[in-house]
């Protein structure tokens, strides 16, 4: 099994006619993802290498039955693109775009949570999601992901960092460990999907036997995840927290990765995770090695 997306998921690309949307939309389709439509009100009735383009998401959903969207719209237009997807009947929205204004993120996060609880947003500023061998929505390279191997335990991955998402996938592939789903939740201050959302889904997924969690400095998401792991999870977890050497008050790449007033440090997050029974590595490779130990013990 997998979480959130699988081989049956039909996806519409908002921004398919742009350079980035086209590149990744076609790449995802070549991977095997069911990319069934794109949207552009000025190019409705055309196609992108055989993928039909519709005026808006509602038209695309009506014609194709899509349930997921992937947004490659420039940052100023993301808020309206998200709400267009919601109004069109999409229930899983992947926002790849970075630089989305925090006030826009907060607005559509709360609007969807309060008035459209059936809809899940992933991102913004995330690499997307891949269920290896089934579906790849976003910018992750399918080449670095190993699909579950029959007869062997499989692992779920959730990460705030895009680059470290890729490394986690590849570390497990090198060790011959298959992945059910890898979710990049993004590093912005208001992510649509949290660590806990993914941990809860992995806990409920029968095929996922263990979870690798990649966090970073800033905020309290990792500490909250640690509490969830300690009280609600039965499956083993390995982890790595980026930013051990980050100085206080400096933003480290992601908008949400900033240590303020001594809070949100890597050390505090690592301590909380260890106290919850998580095996914490000092670098991504060590986190992968710890997962190998976990798999051997299953």
Q: What is the pLDDT of residues 97-155, one digit of tens each?
A: 999 999 999 999 999 999 999 999 999 999 999 999 999 999 999 999 999 999 999 99
Q: Phi, psi at residue 95, to the nearest 5°?
A: -105, 105
Evaluate if residue 244 carries a pLDDT over 80.
Answer: no
Residues 95 and 146 in one domain: no
- pLDDT tier for residue 252 given thresholds of 50, 70 and 90: low
* CATH number, domain containing residue 58: 3.40.50.720
The answer to whether 51 and 38 are in contact (CB under 8 A) is yes
Residues 291 and 146 in one domain: yes
Would you call 254 a catalytic residue per the annotation?
yes
Residue 158 CA to residue 98 CA, distance in Å, equals 19
Evaluate if residue 295 carries a pLDDT over 90.
Answer: yes
User: Which H helix or E strand runs over 179?
Assistant: strand 179-184
pLDDT at 284: 87
pLDDT at 218: 81
- pLDDT tier for residue 243 given thresholds of 50, 70 and 90: confident
| Edge-to-edge strand ranges of the sheet holding 120-122 | 47-48, 51-54, 34-39, 10-14, 68-71, 92-95, 120-122
Pick from 28-32, 38-42, 74-78, 283-287: least confident: 283-287
- pLDDT tier for residue 214 given thresholds of 50, 70 and 90: very high
How many distinct structural domains can be found in the chain?
2
Residues 291 and 168 in one domain: yes
Q: Does 83 reside within a domain?
A: yes
Q: What is the pTM of this model?
A: 0.94
Q: Does 129 reside within a domain?
A: no
* CATH number, domain containing residue 265: 3.40.50.261
The answer to whether 35 and 28 are in contact (CB under 8 A) is yes
Closest Cα partner for 285 from 254, 244, 242? 242
Q: Does 231 reside within a domain?
A: yes
The answer to whether 57 and 88 are in contact (CB under 8 A) is yes
Of the residues 29, 254, 269, 279, only one is catalytic, namely 254
Residues 73 and 152 in one domain: no
Q: How many residues does the chain have?
A: 298
Residues 117 and 145 in one domain: no
Residues 176 and 229 in one domain: yes
Evaluate if residue 257 carries a pLDDT over 80.
Answer: no
% residues pLDDT > 70 (the chain): 94
Number of Cα atoms under 13 Å in the Cβ half of residue 117: 1
Residues 231 and 291 in one domain: yes
Residues 74 and 165 in one domain: no
Residues 78-102 have pLDDT tens digits of 999 999 999 999 999 999 999 999 9
Residues 115 and 168 in one domain: no
Residues 174-203 have pLDDT tens digits of 999 999 999 999 988 899 999 999 999 999
Q: Does 136 reside within a domain?
A: no
Cis link prior to 124 (omega < 30° from 0)?
A: yes
Residues 101 and 244 in one domain: no
Residues 72 and 153 in one domain: no
The boundaries of the domain holding residue 41 are 10-122
Q: Does 168 reside within a domain?
A: yes
Q: Does 4 reside within a domain?
A: no
Q: Does 193 reside within a domain?
A: yes
Domain boundary among 90, 122, 154: 122
Q: What is the mean pLDDT of the chain?
A: 93
Residues 159 and 263 in one domain: yes
Q: Is 75 helix (H, G, I), strand (E, B) or coil?
A: helix
């Amino acid at each position: 099994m997998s979480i959130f997306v699988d081989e049956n998921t039909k996806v519409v690309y908002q921004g398919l006619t742009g350079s980035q949307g086209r590149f990744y939309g076609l790449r995802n389709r070549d991977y095997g993802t069911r990319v069934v439509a794109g949207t552009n009100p000025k190019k409705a009735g055309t196609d992108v290498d055989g993928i039909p383009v519709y005026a808006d998401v509602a038209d695309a959903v009506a014609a194709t039955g899509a349930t997921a969207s992937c947004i490659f719209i420039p940052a100023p237009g993301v808020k309206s693109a998200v709400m267009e997807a919601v109004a069109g009947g999409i229930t899983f929205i992947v926002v790849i775009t970075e630089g989305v204004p925090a006030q826009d993120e907060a607005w559509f996060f709360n609007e969807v949570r309060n008035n459209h609880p059936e809809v899940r947003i992933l991102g913004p500023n995330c690499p997307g999601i891949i269920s290896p061998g089934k579906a790849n929505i976003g910018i992750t390279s399918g080449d670095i992901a190993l699909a579950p191997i029959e007869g062997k335990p499989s692992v779920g991955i959730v990460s705030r960092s895009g680059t470290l998402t890729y490394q986690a996938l590849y570390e497990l592939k090198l060790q011959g460990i298959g992945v059910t789903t890898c979710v990049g939740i993004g590093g912005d201050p208001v992510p649509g999907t949290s660590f806990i959302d993914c941990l809860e889904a992995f806990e409920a997924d029968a095929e996922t036997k263990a979870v690798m969690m990649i966090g970073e400095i800033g905020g309290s998401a990792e500490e909250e995840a640690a509490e969830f792991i300690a009280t609600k999870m039965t499956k083993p977890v390995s982890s790595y927290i980026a930013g051990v050497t980050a100085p206080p008050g400096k933003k480290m790449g992601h908008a949400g990765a900033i240590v303020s007033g001594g809070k949100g440090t890597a050390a505090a997050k690592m301590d909380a995770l260890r106290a919850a029974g998580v095996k914490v590595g000092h670098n991504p490779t060590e986190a992968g090695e710890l997962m190998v130990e976990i798999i051997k013990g299953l």
